[in-house]
Chain A
Amino acid sequence: MNIDLTQAALKFTPFHNRTSRACRTNSWYRWSGYTVVAEYSTTELEYTATRNGTSVMDLTPMYKYEIKGERAKEFINYFVTRDLSEMKDNTVAYVIWCNEAGKVVDDGTVFCLNQNEFKICCAVKMQTWLKDSAEGFDLDINDVTDDIAALSVQGPTSCSVLKNYGATNLESLKPFESKDFTIDGYSVLISRTGFTGDLGYELWTNPENAEKMWDSLMESGKHLKIRPMGMHALEMVRIEAGFIQTGTDFVSTEHALRPVRMRSPYEIGMGWLVHLTKKDYFIGKRALKAEKENGTTERVLVGLDIEGDKPAHGAVIYNKKKEDVGIVTAALWSPTLKRNIAIASLMRPYGTKIKDDIFVEIYHPEELEYKKIWATCKVVKRQFYSPERRNMVPAEVY
């Protein structure tokens, strides 16, 4: 296929020649200025690959920033709410960062390459925020999104696939560790991280190796149920895993037009990432401390287990008196769990002290008519699915 790149309004990722060939549906998704596959063949099959084999997904559009300098570590620890003062080389941490009001700007992963060099990987464009935050730290901050070809390789057979591919001893890599490999003469950074809640890895390489890497991976997984996965299937697995998504489950402070739409970490289930005992100051600490001390948190993000089998997309949540107490931000009939699950934002004390007698009103479309379903639901842990293999060391090898 010959595509004139200069005519394209959206950028192609370095995998485009491969992903477009594998995409049988011609169904695309617009992601941070790139176009990526929404569905290759059937979303359910792609989903199944993640849960029963290995899925490969093009992650290139995730924003990636490189932070270099003598005070890089001090800066990262100031930038995020989590205490990373002990972060070791070749590890990865899941983090969030806030603004001065203690509202979440974005979540993402921090890669510690060495004590003076870090990378941040996230969903929202962060160059300005990073630069302005780094004022006074004398650092080198660069957007390296286009310089890295990134794939996620996830599922129970993913370790085996990558071992076949050439990642020797990969099974000993612990969750949130990363390692540099040289494979076929090019270097690949493999981290045991992912957005699927399953055993899985993410791979970074130079864009010039992208197609080679894709081909070798497909070859290595030939007998291990490998399959490329599109964005639709990703949405399914991430809901099962209970991962939140910026723009869906909360609005980034960088995008919120109304201050009241901004959310504190405590409101989106990220309180565990806020380390108020951290020795040094971090952005938003004063506000978060005050929120914690004064108990002014207004909302809570919970998992819901909903009666029936009709996914509660965007449904409004009510209490016994039919008062509106929240909204569903993401919903799914989980094929693995055989449960009707959802992530929901509730007004406290609903979801915290009051967990019973909560209802959702589901508008289920049926051939041009809506069926209104009044379903009871239970507040449950948001991490609906978390198989043991996800964190096992050594990782399962087939």
Chain B
Amino acid sequence: MSIKYDVIIVGGGHNALICANVLAKKNKKVLICEARETCGGLLTNDLTNFTPSFSNKVKSEIDNISVDHSSVSTIALSETGHHLKLTGNIYEDKKTLEQLAPEDVDRYFKLQKKLSLFSKTLGSFMHSSPPRILHKSFSDYFKLFKLGLNVRLMGRNSFNEFARMIGLNIADELEDNFKNTLLQGLISHDAITGSNLGPRSPGSLINLLFRMANHDNSLFGGIQQVKGGVNAVMKSLEENVIKRGVEIKTSSSVKRCIIENDQVKGIELDDGTSIHANTVISSADPKSTYLCLLGAEHLDTDFKRRIKHYRAKGRVSKLQLVLSKIPQFTNLESKDLSQRLVISPSIDYIEENFNYSKFENLSPEPILELSVPSVEDELLCHNGNHIMNVQIQYAPFNVKGGWENKKAECINNVLTTLEKYAPEIRSCILEQEFISPNDIEKNFNVSGGHWHHGEIQIDQLFMLRPIPGAAQYKTPVSGLYMCGAGTHPGGGMTGIPGKNAAHEVLKNI
């Protein structure tokens, strides 16, 4: 048996490629096996449009990614046409708020300051492996101690406030502070996007902190649109790793890991080919990794229980509209359509939507995030036509009645909602493509079709991510690691799980 590779990575999402890049820079021979025809996973223009930029800590460890990008602002649409545009730039935002929400101006910046202190504290833990629990090692205790210490170092008052807020729901916090319902709706939107929480669900605040930690610790800053879309990021990542000698096999779905004596020995592809390596890193989601790739027969009962209960049902669907012309939005210029437009006018609007999704139903008036990036970037046109990307929050996995029967209804709900802001939208549509969480599960190989490969909630974060006893990118089987969004610190285009996992692997090989 000849071993050609030091490491095999299952899946070719961005975390896999970043992990491969870090490993290849340390002269490890890496093979990536991706099930789909192309790399990228959820990071594709079809699904992911606005992203944070990679942090310096990630950038410094990988080869240069040559893409252009521009910052985008967020515009909360109002049926009255009094849209609220926030950029993350203090001066601009202050001006805007003074006009539209004069009573909330000071409180807005106070809240942002407070939240950003907390998100920085959380963020400081994103770049190293979290401590393990259920293990009794000194370094784990030390890390836990440091986490505690950093939290304490915020100062007594901040600490008390942090402790108060960590389990809090975002609605309480906003309703205490703000008068303007559009502002409340917008901030709440970003606290619940991608999750299975409503604005009144305990813990919805931590989602927001998590998001801020990846977006320059700001509420609406740090959001970028890449020229050519996220596909351009993937292309650059791919070229870089290939230059480093990483081999990529696409259309190569991994069926299982080969395990001997509790040690990973390689992988077997769906077509029966076995490829050997003493280290395998899975970028697949935790449920797929454990229950499919590894197999129940290698796991303890308690572990299986935890992984089964890992919450990973996606709630975000996507609708792409190919347009014959740029639709007119009330009180918006067409170049504004390249920005992040949000339809989430109030907390109650979101909570009502959440109620539908709780029972796996569709809301007649969904929460939307949309843009037509091609108005600024012709690379993103489709056969010369503009494309509108619409993200539908709370369009649930396993919708009652089944997506095959519910798709048309959902699209209609989206368009009816859009018509309130862009009355002629229907007449501009040439083609439409709808992707439900079930489609994401099936076509992108992510069980549950979840944005983050699993909920970002207090019991599924840090040393508890994905589940207690399996943090630190390790699995119970030696040589098998994880590097996807299901690991610490979670999903989004950050590359942090991939980078951290590479470090953990390098410590051991």
Contacts and interface: CB of A to CB of B under 8 A. Distances in A.
Nearest to B260: A279
Interface stretch (A128-136, A143-151, A160-168, A310-318): A128-136
A280 B297 contact: yes
A283 B305 CA distance: 13
Given A285-B262, A286-B262, A286-B476, A133 B304 contact: yes
Given A286-B262, A286-B476, A132 B304 contact: yes
Category for how many chain B residues contact A: 10 to 19
Contacts of A78: 297
Interface string A92-135: 00000001110000000000000000000000000001001101
Contacts of A280: 297
Contact of A135 (B296, B469, B476): B296
Nearest to B262: A281
Interface string B284-303: 00000001000111111111
Given A285-B262, A286-B476, A136 B300 contact: no
B308 interface: yes
A29 interface: no
A133 B308 CA distance: 12
Interface in A228-252: none
A101 B134 CA distance: 10
A132 B301 CA distance: 6
A133 B297 contact: no
Category for how many chain A residues contact B: 10 to 19
Main secondary structure of the interface of A (DSSP, over half): loop
**Which of A78, A132, A136, A137 has the most chain B CB atoms closer than 10 A to its own CB?**
A136
Contact of B300 (A74, A100, A279): A100
A284 B305 contact: no
A136 B297 contact: yes
Interface in A60-77: 74-75
B304 A136 contact: yes
A133 B301 contact: yes
Nearest to A138: B296
Interface in B253-308: 259, 261-262, 291, 295-305, 308
Main secondary structure of the interface of B (DSSP, over half): helix
Interface in A70-88: 74-75, 78
Contacts of B298: 281
Contacts of B308: 135
B19 to A, nearest CB: 25
B302 A99 contact: yes
Contact of B297 (A101, A132, A137): A137
Contacts of B304: 132-133, 135-136
B70 to A, nearest CB: 47
A75 B299 CA distance: 12
A55 to B, nearest CB: 37
Contacts of B299: 136
B296 A136 contact: yes
A74 to B, nearest CB: 7
Nearest to B306: A100
Nearest to B308: A135
Nearest to A135: B304
Interface in B391-449: none
A254 B262 CA distance: 26
Interface of B: 259, 261-262, 291, 295-305, 308, 469, 476
Closest 9 CB pairs of A and B: A136-B296, A100-B300, A133-B301, A100-B302, A135-B304, A281-B298, A283-B300, A132-B301, A78-B297
